[in-house]
Structure 1
């Protein structure tokens, strides 16, 4: 599938143009909304920010499409018991939580990307546009040729763990494989096809859009670099067919039908686009002397809140890298955080939890809940020869970190049936090595 390099930051010089090669000159030459568009197309704008947002933050895209998206039947409720932000009847749980790999649907249960979404935890309210939610998706069938989805509540950051996704959007097509991510922003219609059973994670944010974090003293290069983000190029289909459009609105799902494919955009230009990123392109910054860098140094994308330096949600990864710190306990230190930390594992073995933290599973360490390496990881790191060594080869763990207190849903607590009730036991072997008569202690 054809993709185009995405110069990520919006603003002057970062405006993108794409037209299907089958219709050269489909983009109007002088204005966004001409009286008559080339090829008899309709002009339609998709806004990602308020019209009056400052120019450097203003995001929108103009579509030139065969039919405007307004042509559809009225929306009706769509039953989906597992997509929810309503947790009022679920008691809070401050414990360390770990899930074994989330189950895939039975082969006889044909489940696509939308029907396979499960809300694991969430905070806030999409109606007031403040909050976020974490989902697992599992699917064994494509959304076929006549089904699409869009989210009126916020942006979706999709992290495939098992199986590649063929993502059809109004902007064009892109393939997203494990160890890659894609972001489908608010209001963008898309469909997901698969060739094998698939599983992954989704982070939804209501408040804002994801951006690259500021680099500060790091300088111009490092972490996720703008040149490594890709956006689709224009591709259209003209099919008159009964098509289902599923919409997530105020936390609930709705469905409407129309008599044509929504993927009929012949050309587009703007700076509000879906995009893909390969996690192997992340440029790791780490210590080369002593101590342990905060995990924020591994931030790929952030959705900022109104409070400076505090995110509604960060997307953080722990990729293969060198560990070279001297006189330092190298794994993540024990800590109690003022943030919520939801971790997932795409592949490999996470160095601080090599036992029960498995690909396709997850963990949640809530605000103030202590966590850190398990007993074997602590002892191994305390006795290690502190020479340069490779860390996390063949592994990609990630974290959705939020300043909001995430509440676990009924599905995450019981209905998923993979919550590890014995997770707490991984720390029970930690013992006291304290000796008031001996400063230097061997572990």
Structure 2
């Protein structure tokens, strides 16, 4: 298991070889051991200090040592669609994507499910499902369009990045910043999960406001990898995503050759079981924003480009209150998945690995069976256990990918779960 450093957004330093990291100077004239100094910037140089993200990397070779990029056609499900027909304002849900026909590594096994905005505008969100059964052996990838938030659902995922190794299991999430090179291994032989591409401002912890100084996700629980590197002189394909398309260049070495680094821009992982859930202890139902783990703000205060929200195990104690998510229409758009267990607003049809989309002002909420059970329940204290659902919520509507709309797992009868509710009876 790799070692980790702690603290969300902290300035950290790490070296895989003692003496590789300079002391007192970011970019000395002659770095130790003949290493090359490189600054990786995740924000504009002039961003306010509190939001400025950058790290200094000390590597075996300059990262610019590659030839021209050529189009890469090996992952058609990862790339943007041509402009198509207008999107109907329907609700969408997919059953878990099948694993029996998979023969791909992480990149070739990505299926783009939905997106919004133009990634070239550095705004919006894209959601994928990955299915893989092969390691990325001599292939590395980086994303110029977005930072990538990985949500494993089945099988472990090992992300070997320029700044260190992230070992992720279902129930954990991991983020690779924009521009950071990595490759993926599958310790269990195969894996399935979700990926959120955040094209806008970087994910950060939400402000707590009246909650105070404690609660939700704590900075100390975010883990950043210690330095690690590969010294491999052999052919490598370096694939990058740029303006929604994939490109590939050939290297004669592994690009994961950073021996030491320091800064506050680095991959991280987080165990969702460490989330400190906040909720009502009297009556009424708090908004789902109370479950936000990380948020990527937009240029409109209080309206996120993307929130990553979870629905974890928790006590339900509210009195005289409909406890599951109520019927609602929302100006925000929701793309939701399930890691394990059952979701308390859906009795059937939403299994682990599934995905649903409810766009802005789309009516949604519990199905008939969930509504009936919650309406008739005796409201004693009750703990929801053995579940972990999540949601990418965005100010922009999610547009399902053409490939996603043609998948056999798309549920054509999803609307039926809201049929059969009894009509209210008014007094005569």
Q: Same fold (TM over 0.5)?
A: yes
Quote the Cα distance in structure 2 between the aligned partners of 1:287 and 1:197.
40
Does the 8 Å CA contact 1:87/1:409 hold for their aligned counterparts? no
What residue is the counterpart of 2:12 in the other structure? Answer: 16
- Equivalent position to 1:97, from 92, 106, 110: 92
State how many pairs are aligned.
426
How far does residue 297 in structure 1 lie from its aligned partner after superposition? 0.2
Q: Does 1:201 align with 2:194?
A: yes
Unaligned runs of 5+ in 2: none
> Paired residue for 2:69, among 65, 69, 75?
75
Look up the match of 2:355.
Answer: 362
1:50 aligns with 2:44: yes
- Aligned partner of 2:60 in structure 1 is 66
Displaced runs of 4 or more, over 4 A: none
Structure-2 residue corresponding to 1:410:
402
TM-score of the aligned structures, taking structure 1 as reference length: 0.94
What SS does the corresponding residue of 2:239 show, helix, strand or coil?
A: strand
Measure, in 2, the Cα distance between the counterparts of 1:156 and 1:351: 28
**Superposition RMSD in Å:** 1.1
Q: Which residue of 1 aligns with 2:120?
A: 127
Please say if 1:158 is aligned against 2:154: no
1:99-130 per-residue CA deviation (whole Å, 9 max, x = no partner) reads 11112252xx5200000111111111111112
Deviation for aligned residue 1:425: 1.0
Query: 1:161·1:347 contact (CA, 8 Å) conserved in 2?
Result: yes
| Equivalent-residue separation in structure 1 for 2:266 and 2:291 (angstroms) | 24
1:435 CA drift (Å): 2.7
1:7 aligns to what?
A: 7
| TM-score of the superposed pair, with normalisation by structure 2 | 0.98
3-state DSSP of counterpart to 2:369:
helix
Alignment of 1:244-263 (within 5 A): 244-263=237-256
Question: Superposition pairs for residues 384-399 of structure 1, below 5 Å?
Answer: 384-391=377-384, 393-399=385-391
Could you tell me how far 1:30 is from its partner in structure 2?
2.2
CA contact under 8 A between 2:66 and 2:249: conserved in structure 1? yes
> Which residue does 1:299 correspond to in 2?
292
After the TM superposition, which residues 331-346 of structure 1 pair with which residues of structure 2 at under 5 Å, given as runs? 331-346=324-339
Structure 2 equivalent of residue 435 of structure 1: 426
Alignment match, 1:85: 80
User: Secondary structure at the residue paired with 1:237?
Assistant: coil
Q: Contact conserved, 1:243 with 1:259, CA < 8 A, in 2?
A: yes
Whether 1:27 and 2:18 are equivalent positions in the alignment is no
Tell me, in whole angstroms, the C-alpha distance in 1 between the residues paired with 2:47 and 2:3.
28
Work out whether 1:285 is the aligned partner of 2:278. yes
Could you tell me how far apart the structure 2 residues matched to 1:87 and 1:212 are? 35
